[in-house]
Amino acid sequence: MKDSSTIQISIRVYFFFLILAHTFFLNHNIGEFPTKYVFSDWLINYEGGFIRRGLLGQIIYEISLILKIKIEKIIFFFQFIAYFLYLILILKKINKTNLNFFWILLIFSTISFLYPISELEALGRKDIYVLLLFLIYALIDFRSLKLQILFFYLIFTLSILIHEITFFYVFFYLFVIFINNSSKLKKNTIIIQFLILLFYLILLIFLTIEIGNSSNIQSIINSYKIEQFNINVGSGAIGWLSKPFTEQMIYVTSQFSFANFFRYFFIFALNMTFIFYFLKIKYPILRRYSFRFILTTLLISVLPVYLIALDWGRITYLTFNFIIILIFYMNQKNLIDQIHLKNRIKKFSLKLKILIFLLVCTLFSPKILISDDLSGVPIYKINKKLFEYLYFF
pLDDT of res. 286: 62
Residue 272 identity: M
Peptide bond before residue 34 is cis, with ω within 30 degrees of 0: yes
Between CA 353 and CA 306, with CA 378 as vertex, the angle to 5 degrees is: 95
Position 81 scores a pLDDT of 98
pLDDT tens by residue, 246-255? 777 787 888 8
Of 104-118, 244-258, 296-310, 365-379, the one with minimum mean pLDDT is 244-258
Residue 55's CB: how many other CB atoms inside 10 A? Answer: 22
| Residues 6+ positions from 349 with CB-CB distance below 8 Å | none
Please tell me the predicted confidence (pLDDT) of residue 1.
Answer: 43
Q: Is 62 left (phi over 0), alpha (psi -120 to 50) or beta?
A: alpha
pLDDT of residue 137: 97
In one letter, which amino acid is 74?
Answer: I
Count the domains in the chain. Answer: 1
Q: What is the mean pLDDT of residues 258-263?
A: 84
Task: Tell me the pLDDT band of 354, cut-offs 50, 70 and 90.
Answer: very high
Q: Is the pTM of this model over 0.95?
A: no
> Residue 376's CB: how many other CB atoms inside 10 A?
12
> Which segments of 144-225 does DSSP mark as H helices, in order?
145-162, 170-181, 187-209, 217-222
More confident residue, 251 or 152: 152
Secondary structure of the chain: what % helix, strand, coil (to 5)? Answer: 75, 5, 25
Q: What are phi and psi of 47, to 5 degrees?
A: -70, -15
State the pLDDT at residue 108: 96
Q: Note the pLDDT of residue 377.
A: 87
Contact 213, 244 (CB under 8 A): yes
Give me the percent of the chain exceeding a pLDDT of 90.
55
Axis crossing angle, helix 2-29 with helix 101-108, rounded to the nearest 10: 10
- 203's CB contacts (< 8 A; 6+ apart) are none
**Rounded mean pLDDT of 363-372?**
87
Lowest-pLDDT range, 118-122, 206-210, 294-298?
206-210
How much is the pLDDT for 212?
65
Question: Three-state SS for 289?
Answer: coil
The radius of gyration of the chain from alpha carbons, rounded to an integer in Å, stands at: 21
Q: How far, CA to CA in Å, does 357 sit from each of 94, 122, 186, 374?
A: 18, 24, 44, 18
- Lowest-confidence segment of 50-54, 76-80, 210-214, 314-318 by average pLDDT: 210-214
What lies within 8 Å, CB to CB, of 82 at 6+ separation is 128, 129, 132
The least confident of 71-80, 235-244, 379-388 is: 235-244
Range of the domain at 370: 2-392
Beta strand pairing call for 374-376 and 364-366 = antiparallel
- Taking residues 312-330, report their average pLDDT: 96
Confidence check: pLDDT of 157 > 90 = yes
